[in-house]
Amino acid sequence: MNINYYKKYYKKNLIYKFKKKIYLNSIVSTIGRIIFIRNFGKISFADIIDYTGKIQILFKKNKNNIKLGDIIYVNGKIIKTKKNQLTINCLKFSIVNKNFYIYPDKFHKIKNKNINYKNLFIEYSTNNKKKNIFFYRSKIFFLLRKFLLSQKFIEVETSIINNIYGGEAKTFKTNYKNRILNLRVSPEIELKKILISGMENIFEIGKNFRNEGTSKIHSPEFSSLEFYSSYRNFKWLIKYTKKIITKIFLNNKKIIIYKNKKINFYKFKIYSIKKSIEKFSCLNKNKINNIFFLKKEIKKVLSKKKYNKYILKQNNKYVIRYFYFDKYIQNKIWNPTFIKDFPISLSILAKSKKKDKNIAQRFELFIANMEIANGYVEQNSYKEQKRRFLKQHVKYDTNFINALAYGMPYSVGCGIGLDRLIMLMLNLDDIKNVIPFSSF
């Protein structure tokens, strides 16, 4: 059969509409991809699918010229079979485009997960449940924008390619005219420059990149929402982060199921790192305050390289407790919990508490053993920010320090990992499943 690859227009109904009673016994036209074929002598049946649904096609003659994966145009009458299955009795059909590879049918799917991730277009084209990930991501991004814009926030875009990134995360590097540049780890520095320029409530939804390891909850490329607000405080930031998650992602639901376990959103707990160790471990207060004991416990699970770098000569109790929390406590937090009181030495861009300069005004939100959000009161003293960069031998953007010297309002900011939240809402256990066509 000849295929007209240049035909631009087909009269097409979306398949999901055919479930409505008004279409029964009427003539319709649609286009879909064949995902199953059954031949019965002189007649044959085929299941076709588009992004809205699936329907059966009845051919009065055996169609040997079509095969799995072909995209076909069908014109025919909507009927119901003896088994009460909605079907298009084909009057006319044409092949819109041919498939030239072996195509899995709906009963014999690709079993090799690696092939699945490399050829996700096959999986998506035959499985509308997988396609729902596209719809859900699109809906979440739309609702986030709608909500924040209604709250008088302004959406901004910042550069993905930066000269310098001040931090310990490894970056992807590229070059331009003999200049070494970095893909951003976070838009935070550029967003703070926008705060300095006079914009008080801003947000950005976009991709970030970290040249680090992969796992079921880590991807070198990931999407985040970062929002910043001037003249707000730490308590407001916690409440607002909670509001975004419950209103946009949960749609005010209080309980969801993830990995066959309930996650209870009725109440978000708030613990300091010290309090969380008391709550989720069997250590008594003496052991929690004994940094030598904690260092021994950390040494059991931390690589020698990291131990020598971060722990060996470390006597700051807040830093030691943080590493104990990171290795022993984080994976025990299931219901939504804000963890606060991070050591200032590990929170280089955050403001410290007035009463204790060793503690940052910072939180991390954990749900289902995963870090979901990271927020803090922003450091707005250019002298203090420069001192910290120099003390930790971090390369920094001098333009950022110069901008801070002009004066940045007292501000708070938070970054929310969108991919992990979408994993939770769709009950998926691998971040690859929510980043369509990821390269990693």
Residues 154 and 253 in one domain: yes
Asked whether residue 371 carries a pLDDT value surpassing 80, the answer given is yes
Other residues' Cβ atoms within 10 Å of the Cβ of residue 21: 7
Please give the pLDDT value at position 191.
97
- Check whether residue 200 and residue 246 sit in a common domain: yes
Instruction: Give backbone dihedrals phi and psi of 32, rounded to 5 degrees, phi first.
Output: -160, 170
**pLDDT for position 8:** 59
Mean pLDDT of 108-117: 55
- Is the pLDDT confidence value at 14 over 90? no
3 — pLDDT class (breaks 50, 70, 90): low
What is residue 167's predicted lDDT score, i.e. its pLDDT?
Answer: 65
150, 225: one domain: yes
Give domain status of residue 228, yes or no. Answer: yes
Residue 98, pLDDT > 70, answer yes
Average of pLDDT values for 399-425?
A: 97
What pLDDT score does 206 carry?
96
Q: How many domains does the chain fold into?
A: 2
CATH code for the domain in which residue 105 is found: 2.40.50.140
Contact 254, 266 (CB under 8 A): yes
Percent of the chain with pLDDT over 90: 69
Q: What whole-number distance in Å separates Cα of residue 245 and Cα of residue 6?
A: 46
What proportions of the chain, in percent to the nearest 5, are helix, strand and coil?
35, 30, 35
Type of residue found at 263 = I
Tell me which amino acid residue 62 is: N
Predicted confidence band at 112 (pLDDT cuts at 50, 70, 90)?
A: low
Q: How far is CA 300 from CA 159, 296, 297, 303, in A?
A: 41, 7, 5, 8
Given a contact cutoff of 8 angstroms between Cβ atoms, the answer to whether 340 and 322 are in contact is no
Among 105-109, 216-220, 280-284, 422-426, the minimum mean pLDDT is found in: 105-109
Model confidence at 63: pLDDT above 80: no
The whole-model pTM stands at: 0.90
Q: Which of 81, 109, 137 is the last residue of a domain?
A: 109
Q: What is the pLDDT of residue 158?
A: 96
Task: Give residue 359's domain range.
Answer: 128-268+336-434
Could you write out the DSSP letters of every residue in 16-60? GGGGSGGGTTSEEEEEEEEEEEEEETTEEEEEEEETTEEEEEEES
pLDDT value at residue 326: 95
User: What proportion of the chain, given as a percentage, has pLDDT over 70?
Assistant: 94
pLDDT of residue 246: 94
Residue 177 lies in a domain: yes
Same structural domain for residues 50 and 141? no
Cα–Cα distance between 237 and 160 in angstroms, integer? Answer: 26
| Residues 86 and 55 sit within 8 Å (Cβ to Cβ) | yes
Cα–Cα distance, 386 to 396 (Å, whole number): 8
Structural contact between residues 167 and 129, judged by C-beta atoms closer than 8 angstroms: no
Element spanning 202, H or E: strand 201-209
pLDDT, tens digit, for every residue of 139-197?
A: 999 999 999 999 999 999 999 998 876 666 889 999 999 899 999 999 999 999 999 99
| pLDDT reading at 278 higher than 60 | yes
> Are 105 and 144 part of one and the same domain?
no
| pLDDT, position 2 | 53
Within this chain, do residues 89 and 175 fall inside the same structural domain, yes or no? no
Per-residue pLDDT, 4: 59
Residue 64, pLDDT above cutoff 60: yes
Last residue of a domain, one of 47, 77, 109: 109
Q: What is the C-alpha end-to-end distance of the chain, expressed in Å?
A: 40
Is residue 273, in this structure, part of any structural domain at all? Answer: no
Give the span between the Cα atoms of 400 and 193, in whole angstroms.
7
Q: How far is CA 52 from the centre of its chain?
A: 24
Task: Give the residue-averaged pLDDT of 242-261.
Answer: 93
* Helix axes 398-405 and 188-196, enclosed angle (nearest 10): 30
Average confidence (pLDDT) over 87-115: 76
Residue labelled with tokens 């000849």: 2
Instruction: Strand 179-183: give its sheet, edge to edge.
Output: 161-162, 179-183, 173-176
CATH number at residue 235: 3.30.930.10
- Give the pLDDT of residue 142: 96
Helix-then-strand count for the chain, H and E? 13, 18
Tokens representing 420? 């992990």
Return the ∠ at Cα 140 (arms to 217 and 361), rounded to 5°.
60
- The predicted model gives 31-39 an average pLDDT of 91
Span 286-290, mean pLDDT? 95
Say if residue 232 is in the same domain as residue 341: yes
- 347 assigned to some structural domain: yes
Query: Which residues does 388 contact at the CB level (< 8 Å), separation at least 6?
Result: 348, 379, 394
Whether 298 maps to a domain, the answer reads no
Same domain, 221 and 138: yes
The H or E element spanning position 343 is strand 337-343
- Residue 304 belongs to a domain: no
The answer to whether position 310 is within a domain reads no
Q: Which residues contact 340 (CB under 8 A, 6 or more apart)?
A: 270, 271, 272, 273, 362, 363
Residue 109: which pLDDT band, with cuts at 50, 70 and 90? Answer: low
Question: What pLDDT is stored for residue 105 in this prediction?
Answer: 64
Cα-based angle 50, 51, 53 (whole degrees, multiple of 5): 65
Task: Write down the pLDDT at residue 85.
Answer: 92
In a domain, residue 368? The reply is yes
Per-residue pLDDT, 244: 96
Average pLDDT of the residues in 263-282: 96
Q: What is residue 388's three-state secondary structure?
A: helix
Q: 246 and 179: one domain?
A: yes
| Same structural domain, 73 and 152 | no
Q: 166 with 246, same domain? A: yes
